[in-house]
Amino acid sequence: MITAPRGLAAAQAVLGLGGLFIGTGEFAAMGLLPGMAGSVGVSIPHAGHLISAYALGVVVGSPLLAVLTAQMERRTLLMLLASIVLLGNAASALAPEFFGLAAARFLAGLPHGAYYGTASIVAAAMVPPSNRAQAIGRVMLGLAAANLLGVPIATWLGQAFGWRSAFAVVALGGLAVFGLLRVFIPTVVADEQASPRRELSAFGSLQIWLTLGVATIGFGGMFAVYSYITPTLTEVAGVAAADVPIFMALWGVGMIVGNVAGGWLADRALIRSIFGIIVWNVVFLAGFTPAVKAGPTAVGAALFLIGIGFALVPALQARLMDVARHAQSLAAAMNHSAFNLSNAIGAWMGGIAITTGYGWSSTGLVGSALAAAGLILMVIAALLTRPSAGARVSQAAERRAA
């Protein structure tokens, strides 16, 4: 266990702060899209490719940076990633035309998965193994807080001073995190045996692929609802447009509660916790559809309960670190590539349900179905993990002999 130079709480707070700025830079773009579109002279649907450019950066950057930096000291790596956050968001704030802005958003997405993955490894190295998932959860708390605090503030900045100001603030956040990492995070030397080849060995593990599948498919249900939440609230639930941020805050509070609870539960019974959280998502995503039709109070409660399903993030991160063995960096980073793919899948399937006539509220049922598919993948993973009957007899004999 590695000791933080100025205390564990301060180190975890700095790691979480980095996650807050990265998450804000990702999610704020959705609310700033109309202004961005007008500024670079494209339609809003066309400007949606800017969000895709960021997601592509995450998907490409997560494995690429994990492999290329396998032997790099972890604090130095985090500082490098914070530098890319600074550069990507500064370039976004300054980009004069669409293709330059798309390239800047791609650059801003590159460090996303690698940061969360590396920060999770560092956080776990500073606590006993029994507290590992809770430490990871505190890192992910920054991502949850981005939805509660960062995105509303960035949206306000965009409305008051133009969308470029929001990305400029995120860039300054990257600069601040760079300095704070230097002061508060201990030196964490990479495994002496680490190499790009060993990291790439993760792709040969069926358990890693199944766990990533749970994240990609199972978590897509939350994004099926999230992607269309504003029109669903205003068109079906009767929520005034000015009150939508309040309902989004309820979602954010639920995410924070789920993040803390997910880490605590995962440290006590990881596999059972993952199953329980996925079942929670199946139930409450399905409940979103009738809640929307029941009115603002019911849908507010539903959003809070769905937000709690974010508990799956630290639990799956801990699961990947368990099954990755000697490819910790790549597996931890790929978790966030999977979540970005789940964003695309959830939005796509929710959009299909809406455009085929099932209505805005149908996204809850779509989300529940995706969560159920993730549950099936997790069942398969658990069954394949169980030792055979012969192995269990041999293990029992070994215990008796001991």
* Least confident interval from 107-116, 161-170, 207-216, 343-352: 343-352
Q: How far apart are CA 211 and CA 139, in angstroms?
A: 20
- Output 402 or 99, whichever has higher pLDDT: 99
The CATH number assigned to the domain with range 193-387 reads 1.20.1250.20
Q: Where are the domains of the chain?
A: 1-190, 193-387
Mean pLDDT value of segment 15-25: 93
The whole-number pLDDT of residue 229 equals 82
Q: What is the pLDDT of residue 99?
A: 94
Q: Which of 331, 341, 336 is nearest to 370 (CA)?
A: 341
Hey, how many other C-beta atoms are within 10 angstroms of the C-beta on 132?
24
* Structure confidence at residue 36 (pLDDT): 87
Whether the per-residue pLDDT at 392 is higher than 60: the answer is: no
Residue, of 89 and 252, whose pLDDT is higher: 89
Residue-level pLDDT at 354: 86
Q: What is the pLDDT of residues 33-68, one digit of tens each?
A: 778 888 999 887 688 788 878 888 988 888 888 888
3-state helix vs strand vs coil in the chain, percent to 5 = 85, 0, 15
- The CATH code belonging to domain 1-190 is 1.20.1250.20
Whole-model pTM: value is 0.79
Q: What is the mean pLDDT of the chain?
A: 86
For the CA atoms of 152, 108, 21, 83, the dihedral, rounded to the nearest 10 degrees, stands at -150
pLDDT at 349 over 70: yes
Q: pLDDT at residue 398 above 70? A: no
Mean pLDDT within 143-151: 83
Residue 70, pLDDT > 90, answer no
User: pLDDT at residue 350 above 90?
Assistant: no
Q: How far apart are CA 23 and CA 79, in angstroms?
A: 17
Per CATH, 1-190 and 193-387 having the same topology is answered: yes
pLDDT of residue 400: 45
What's the pLDDT at 390?
40
For 326-338, what is the mean pLDDT? Answer: 77
Percent of the chain with pLDDT over 70: 95
Model confidence at 387, pLDDT cuts 50, 70, 90, reads low
As a whole number of angstroms, the distance between CA 331 and CA 67 comes to: 10
Q: Give the model confidence (pLDDT) of 261-318 as tens digits.
A: 888 888 889 999 999 999 999 999 999 999 999 999 999 999 999 999 989 988 888 8
